[in-house]
């Protein structure tokens, strides 16, 4: 992190970048930062979330010392040496031998030792707390960098929008800032931005393109003004995502022509964004400009059993969110020319709820004042930052094995966790390491079972399409290793003292 801009290729894949290999089977999810979505019948995630909740409810917050058999190593503290720290020879040996975790619940030497020292405070583990806190501190974006990046981005975005608005079909385009930077859960450098440019479509008629409800075709209802989108209409009346994205890309290129420091990256298959690389003041910033359609009809049927925030944020808040429009991005998976009922995959659209995710993460507490300066501080966002960071570092370490895992999986895991552990007291900042452990358990559980459903579309399994069992188990194993050894991957990089 420090000072260097991470090459884009090393970053956790953005939703737009992640791509499936084979188009035939269930379209699993790739990262929908910008989208992904709908069909509903089952609540596939209920099982794992439910059990997680049970653990919390049943055991109280400091449940570490006598864990259920399949828990990750119980204590928040890593193996300790006699000096009580985790960096010495004993801890090193434990790490080396990887003895502290036994997946089948068998006792390891380290666990035996832990159980013999039953002091709760000992168990809750200052060292890991300190590592996590130190890691979070290092992730904080320096204010000055933030404002520098923001002003460059603003100039470029303003220019693009101005250019777009000069002609149809982008005359009414609206700006929608999404992504981790705006959700304040950005990790490392402020070098990656997303901006969604939405074209409002009146009287749209959407129809699901796939079985799990993430992809749709968009047509215009009778009586709708078709002039603006005329060039993209296909014989059957649907709007071609591919054609519209091509025109969008052309416009973006025209708009940034006058910026010598802006380079337009080559088109990526299936990606809904035009990616710009901006070099300025020694910083290299990636800006994804994403085309979308803004549709203001009721949310698709596929979302009916998703978005379970009733017990967490309340039915009123949920209702308000559901009145908001949703967005569709020109994203596809697999082969673009694969047809379904005469429509190519590249002409379908993927639904996006990134604006809702942003809203939820911003106002994430049961109490309206959660995390405000005069309110109670919680660790929901810190937990998400840590999980994203862990995934990011593991991907850097094992780029080949973990290429399919994107940061949207982390966000989705957190959303499910929040809808399962709903109280602000479940996420007290003082319990950061407990809560983070619980979140890791959730994530590992999803990886092991191969089921992590889109928070909005409970029929779309984000792990179902191209995350094979071998790579899921590999990632789960690396996470368990990290946890059980006190997060060496964070220690290596955090200048922890």
79 makes contact with Zn ion (CB under 5 A): no
Closest separation in Å from C-beta 309 to Zn ion: 15
How many residues would you count in the chain?
A: 497
Cβ proximity to Zn ion, 28 vs 365, nearer residue: 365
**What is the closest distance, in whole angstroms, from the C-beta atom of residue 379 to Zn ion in the complex?**
8
Coil/strand/helix, residue 347: helix
205 burial level (CB within 10 Å; 0-12, 13-18, 19+): middle
Q: Measured from the CB atom, is 198 or 371 closer to Zn ion?
A: 371
Give bridge partners of residue 82 from the DSSP assignment.
none
Residues 324-383 contacting Zn ion, CB under 5 A: 365, 370-371, 378
**For Zn ion, which is the closer residue by CB, 22 or 367?**
367
**Largest Cα–Cα distance in the chain?**
78
Nearer to Zn ion, 19 or 380 (CB): 380
| Nearest Cα to Cα of residue 120 among 79, 59, 65, 82 | 65
- By CB under 5 A, the count of residues binding Zn ion is 4
**Alpha carbon distances (Å) from 254 to 247, 250, 305, 345:** 11, 6, 43, 27
Provide the token pair at 248. Answer: 């969008």
CB of 151 to Zn ion, least distance (A): 29
In the bound state with Zn ion, the residue whose beta carbon lies nearer, of 359 and 450, is 359
Least distance (Å) from Zn ion to the CB of residue 386? 15
Cα torsion for 331, 380, 189, 455, to the nearest 10°? 0
CB 378 within 8 A of CB 370: yes
| E strand or H helix that includes residue 193 | strand 192-201
Tokens standing for residue 148? 């520098």
CB of 377 to Zn ion, least distance (A): 6
Closest approach of Zn ion to the CB of residue 290, in Å: 28
What does DSSP assign to residue 141? Answer: P
Angle between helix 380-397 and 354-362 (nearest 10)? 130
Q: At its nearest, how many Å lie between Zn ion and the CB of residue 417?
A: 14
Phi and psi, residue 488, nearest 5°: -55, -30
328 vs 384, which CB is nearer to Zn ion?
384
Beta carbon nearer to Zn ion, 212 or 424: 424
Chain residues in the site for Zn ion (CB under 5 A): 365, 370-371, 378
């Amino acid at each position: 992190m420090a000072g260097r801009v991470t090459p884009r290729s090393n970053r956790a894949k953005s939703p737009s970048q992640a791509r499936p290999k084979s188009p035939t089977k269930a379209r699993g999810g790739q990262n929908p930062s910008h989208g992904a979505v709908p069909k509903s019948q089952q609540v596939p995630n209920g099982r794992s979330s439910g059990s997680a909740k049970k653990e919390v409810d049943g055991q109280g917050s400091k449940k570490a010392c006598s864990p259920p058999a399949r828990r990750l190593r119980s204590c928040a503290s890593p193996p300790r040496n006699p000096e009580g720290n985790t960096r010495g020879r004993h801890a090193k040996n434990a790490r080396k031998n990887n003895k502290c975790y036994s997946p089948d619940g068998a006792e390891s030497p380290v666990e035996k030792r832990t159980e013999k020292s039953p002091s709760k405070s000992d168990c809750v583990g200052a060292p890991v707390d300190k590592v996590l806190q130190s890691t979070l501190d290092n992730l904080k974006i320096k204010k000055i960098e933030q404002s520098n990046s923001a002003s460059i981005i603003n100039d470029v975005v303003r220019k693009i929008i101005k250019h777009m608005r000069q002609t149809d079909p982008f005359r009414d385009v609206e700006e929608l800032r999404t992504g981790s930077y705006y959700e304040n859960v950005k990790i490392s450098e402020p070098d990656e931005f997303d901006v969604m440019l939405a074209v409002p479509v009146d009287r749209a008629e959407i129809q699901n393109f796939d079985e799990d409800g993430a992809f749709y075709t968009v047509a215009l209802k009778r009586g709708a003004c078709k002039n603006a989108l005329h060039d993209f209409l296909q014989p059957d009346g649907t709007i071609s995502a591919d054609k519209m994205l091509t025109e969008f890309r052309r416009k973006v290129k025209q708009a940034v022509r006058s910026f010598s420091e802006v380079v337009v990256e080559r088109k990526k298959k299936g990606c809904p964004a035009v990616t710009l690389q901006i070099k300025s003041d020694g910083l290299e910033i990636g800006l994804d400009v994403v085309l979308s359609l803004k549709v203001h009809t009721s949310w698709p049927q596929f979302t009916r059993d998703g978005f379970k925030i009733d017990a967490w944020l309340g039915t009123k808040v949920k209702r308000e969110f559901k009145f908001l429009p949703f967005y569709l991005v020109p994203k596809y998976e697999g082969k673009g020319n694969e047809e379904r009922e005469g429509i190519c995959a590249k002409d379908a659209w993927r639904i996006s709820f990134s604006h809702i995710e942003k809203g939820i993460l911003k106002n994430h507490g049961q109490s309206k004042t959660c995390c405000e300066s005069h309110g109670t501080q919680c660790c929901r966002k810190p937990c998400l930052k840590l999980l994203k960071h862990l995934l990011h570092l593991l991907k850097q370490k094992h780029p080949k094995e973990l290429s399919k895992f994107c940061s949207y999986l982390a966000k989705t895991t957190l959303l499910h966790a929040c809808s399962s552990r709903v109280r602000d007291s479940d996420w007290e900042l003082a319990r950061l390491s407990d809560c983070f452990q619980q979140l890791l358990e959730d994530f590992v559980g999803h990886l092991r079972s191969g089921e992590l459903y889109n928070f909005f579309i409970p029929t779309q399994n984000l792990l179902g399409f191209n995350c094979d069992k071998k790579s899921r188990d590999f990632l789960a194993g690396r996470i368990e290793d990290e946890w059980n050894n006190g997060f060496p991957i964070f220690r290596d990089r955090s200048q922890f003292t």
